[in-house]
Amino acid sequence: MSVSPIPSHGQCLALMRRYRMPEHIQRHSFMVAEFVRHLVERLQHKNHPLNLGLLHSASLLHDIGKARSLQTGENHGELGAQILEEWGYLPVAPIVREHTTMDSQRVRGPLNESILVNYADKRVRHDKVVTLEERFLDLARRYGKSARQQAAILSKLSLYEEIERRIFD
């Protein structure tokens, strides 16, 4: 069990090693954390209360379940949240759980840590920041096993465009 409910940078790195996060997914996670830091700088000027430590840890650990899920077919967000709950990192777990899902209710809700990690993840392809359109086309190509699945992935693009407008307005 952890002492703090939010893991330090070093504890995040140790979890990445323990759960055998592949190097390319680590690079992706570091870039998501960097992009989130950029977003926070913009939003804090507009008096959005955000927990920087929570954002950093959740960004680094959002794909902690990815390696195992690629082997087992489990939902990597759910798996990652379960891992973090077992370690006692309860504030981080729901952000990891929610980083793969979006709906119109969440889009219209507060710009919180969960929304920012989710959005940043959709702006980072591998270890590069790209447009939402580029990222969603890539996600549809890589994860859409059928035309129906690809269409379902692409249908979420407009939700993220709405979040982007809210962040950058």
* Residue 106 one-letter amino acid: R
The pLDDT of residue 17 is: 97
Whether 138 shows a pLDDT value over 60: the answer reads: yes
**Residues sharing a CB contact under 8 Å with residue 48, sequence separation 6 or more, in sequence order:** 111
The ranges assigned to domains in the chain are 9-168
What would the pLDDT profile of 93-102 be if each residue is shown by its tens digit?
999 999 999 9
**Residues sharing a CB contact under 8 Å with residue 50, sequence separation 6 or more, in sequence order:** 40, 43, 44, 112, 113, 116
Average pLDDT over residues 68-74: 90
This prediction has a pTM of 0.93
The pLDDT of residue 3 is: 56
Give residue for tokens 């969440």: 106
CATH of domain 9-168: 1.10.3210
Q: Please state which of the ranges 45-54, 59-68, 112-121 shows the lowest mean pLDDT.
A: 45-54
The pLDDT of residue 1 is: 47
Strands (E), 17-160: 124-125, 128-129
Whether 41 shows a pLDDT value over 90: the answer reads: no
